[in-house]
Amino acid sequence: MWFGACQLARAVGARLQAGQGDVARPCDPDDIYRAVQRLYRLRRIGGRHLRVLGRFAASQCPPDPRAGDGAGQAVLWAEALDYLDVDLRQRGIVA
């Protein structure tokens, strides 16, 4: 969600700089973007994953089948985040 908020802020002209937020972050938003792109190039995630990630990151709310979001979207979201978690842990960005 943090990455989605950063992208929305950029879309309206915000310039993100390290150390300017209220909370220290372990990486730059571009690190998340590059990790997702790497997973896509390696075919760990596909276009459907990217669409679900983009849609729900922009809405700042993960998919919830109880709220009318499809169960498939929730599965794609979870799969993509699992792959992203592994990637970010391997690179030492998250513990």
1-23 residue pLDDT tens: 666 676 666 667 766 665 566 66
Q: What's the DSSP call for residue 67?
A: G
Which pLDDT band holds residue 95 (cuts at 50, 70, 90)?
A: confident
Of 41, 72, 43, the residue nearest 56 (C-alpha)? 72
Q: What is each CA distance from 4 to 42, 43, 51, 54, in whole angstroms?
A: 22, 22, 13, 8
